[in-house]
Amino acid sequence: MQLRNIAIIAHVDHGKTTLVDKLLSQSGAFRENQRVAERVMDSNDLEKERGITILAKATSVVWKDVRINIVDTPGHADFGGEVERILSMVDGAIVLVDAAEGPMPQTKFVVSKALKIGLKPIVAINKIDRPDARHQEVINEVFDLFAALDATDEQLDFPILYGSGRDGWMAAAPEGPKDQGLAPLFDLVLDHVPPAEVDTGPFRMLGTLLEANPFLGRIVTGRIASGVVKPNQTIKVLDRKGNLVEQGRVSKILAFRGIERQPIDQGEAGDIVSIAGLSKGSVADTFCDLSVEEPIQAQPIDPPTVTMSFIVNDSPLAGTEGDKVTSRMIRDRLMKEAEGNVTLKIEESADKDSFFVSGRGELQLAILIETMRREGFELAVSRPRVVFKKDEETGETMEPVEEVVIDVDEEHSGIVVQKMSERKGDMVEMRPSGGGRLRLVFHAPTRGLIGYQSELLTDTRGTAIMNRLFKAYEPYKGEMAGRVNGVLISNEMGEAVAYAMWNLEDRGPMVIDPGAKVYQGMIIGIHTRDNDLEVNVLKGKKLSNVRSTGKDEAVRLTPPIRMTLERSLAWIQDDELVEVTPKSIRLRKAILDPNDRKRAEKQKEALAG
């Protein structure tokens, strides 16, 4: 059977996963009576909740006796490590662009990687039925983007389709015909994407995706570059430099057939398959026949830019809500994560009680923490910090800088420009993007962007859309103003009393509910001034034996500020931690005892002085 391997590239929310749903159903991958979940490719709980694709996944359909392997790629740059490797598995790409928003930074990020390795793109303008669609301008923007990314003449001569992934149709003209469904897209893939290239020689495959299966152990997915592989065959694994990692037997070969993975008798060159049975082979390693000596060249991966400390939870409430609390359990879980995710870097501290986890962005790390707390882990995490570098020639400090694109209503553009300049962002472009909105482009240090997302939404009443992309390491931009408010800290352990919280309302808003468990050193509110204040939230009302006329038996509290995980990570300072358990997210000082805290502050001042 002939093969075509293709990736779907698009920005977050431009409709990749919905389009894959329709491709599967129109190619007959589902039975007539089969119940299918919406966005079938977003398989894990967090993907379904957030409506984003985090892990790249493959599927396959048969059209006119040709098997088309389709890879759904993540749109967020934080999960870009997935994208770079996947593109080495495919021969073509469908670039899906929103008819109103046009090409966005994440599209640019993946497209630049795709063009660099010589893929020929097909451009699909999606959501053509939007009232604010502007397809002609969007096509010009796509062409300009390709030209700016040094596309070849052949790549610039891309075919264009218009349609609506949700309604399940694509056509060569914006107005249709709509009655052919997605057949024009399938036919174009067969015509435009070259058949899978195959080298001659023994079996070789580059590992691109890795997962742990409770029954089969490690499963590595990749595209077979040459030769065939069969179950029970002995193969070896070479790392990027050609060193032997391990030798072992293939226990099972699985291939994508629709949304299911089915065992097959042999994997042939050009097909995308999953191999089980080897315990050490990882992503970017070459799985090959025993006679092969040279590994396949793997794409280099962009460096991690943000790091956080994962610390064993040592609060007085440790172990009351989660069952995985020891450093050994946390270490094993992080090492398992690092195996499958090459963009994560994990280092152990000298005391073995904390781990430095570096990744592409705070969203990637927040997703990891959220996944761990759902598995029953308890841990404390520090504020994200950027990874600095020293310039080898000049010796000056370099920091990561990102390209930030903000789409905002004109009336809110002033506050956005002001806040970005406070965060050392340089504006490089400002242009109208239709419908009374402006598109602002900044180059800003990652340091200043940590925690800006929630502030931006507050400033623009939830109407702004921000997209970020790692640009380069540039010279250090200087000091930046941090949080202006201090915090309210509990000085006792117990349960918060509504009456005490009511009395403290003029000191600042609370971040806990009445009845919440608190302990000494835990942050319970935001102080209206710039200093920290220790308060007692356990103080109940003094009762007397004189009955009052009922003037004050009901205490009316202002609702507390809800601190989500991402918001907490962005808000805390360097001397504070977020305590994460399966049931709660608490904020606390790193040093709980007030006397120890003062002593540490004095030592810090003495060292600085």
Is 208 among the annotated ligand-binding positions? no
Q: Residue 392: enclosing H or E segment and its boundaries?
A: none
Per DSSP, the three-state class of 432 is: strand
Per DSSP, the three-state class of 167 is: coil
Q: Are 106 and 76 in contact (CB under 8 A)?
A: yes
User: Which amino acid type is present at position 237?
Assistant: V
Q: What are phi and psi of 105, to 5 degrees?
A: -55, -40
CA-only gyration radius of the chain, Å: 27
Q: Are 258 and 29 in contact (CB under 8 A)?
A: yes
Rounded to 10 degrees, the C-alpha dihedral 48/49/55/57 comes to: 10
Is 527 among the annotated ligand-binding positions? no
C-alpha closest to that of 194 among 92, 88, 271: 92
Is 314 among the annotated ligand-binding positions? no
The distance between the two most distant Cα atoms of the chain, rounded to a whole number of Å, is 96
Is 168 among the annotated ligand-binding positions? no
C-alpha closest to that of 238 among 290, 191, 187: 290
In whole angstroms, how far apart are CA 262 and each of 2, 138, 253, 265, 272?
19, 40, 8, 10, 12
Euclidean distance between CA atoms 148 and 105, whole angstroms: 13
The two three-digit tokens of residue 314, written as one number: 């040592």
Is 33 among the annotated ligand-binding positions? no
DSSP 488: E
Per DSSP, the three-state class of 427 is: strand
Q: Are 117 and 154 in contact (CB under 8 A)?
A: no
- Bridge partners of residue 205, in order along the sequence: 224, 287
For 59, other C-beta atoms within 10 Å of its C-beta total 22
Q: Are 353 and 361 in contact (CB under 8 A)?
A: no
- Bridge partners of residue 273, in order along the sequence: 222, 255
Q: What are phi and psi of 38, to 5 degrees?
A: -70, 145
C-alpha closest to that of 129 among 181, 92, 170: 170
C-alpha closest to that of 514 among 506, 503, 526: 503
For 413, other C-beta atoms within 10 Å of its C-beta total 18
Q: Which residues contact 53 (CB under 8 A, 6 or more apart)?
A: 16, 17, 41, 42, 47, 72, 73, 74, 75, 79
Is 13 among the annotated ligand-binding positions? yes
In whole angstroms, how far apart are CA 318 and each of 323, 352, 357, 582, 583?
10, 18, 22, 11, 12
Is 76 among the annotated ligand-binding positions? no
User: Which amino acid type is present at position 420?
Assistant: M
The two three-digit tokens of residue 231, written as one number: 């179950």
Euclidean distance between CA atoms 272 and 221, whole angstroms: 7
Is 18 among the annotated ligand-binding positions? yes
* DSSP secondary structure, 410-454, as one string: GGGHHHHHHHHHHTTPEEEEEEEEETTEEEEEEEEEHHHHTTHHH
Is 320 among the annotated ligand-binding positions? no
Q: Are 555 and 498 in contact (CB under 8 A)?
A: yes
Convert 86-98 to b/e letters by CB count within 10 Å (16 or more is b). Answer: bbbbbbbbbbbbb
Is 129 among the annotated ligand-binding positions? yes
Known binding positions: 13-18, 126-129
Q: Residue positions in the annotated binding site for GTP?
A: 13-18, 126-129
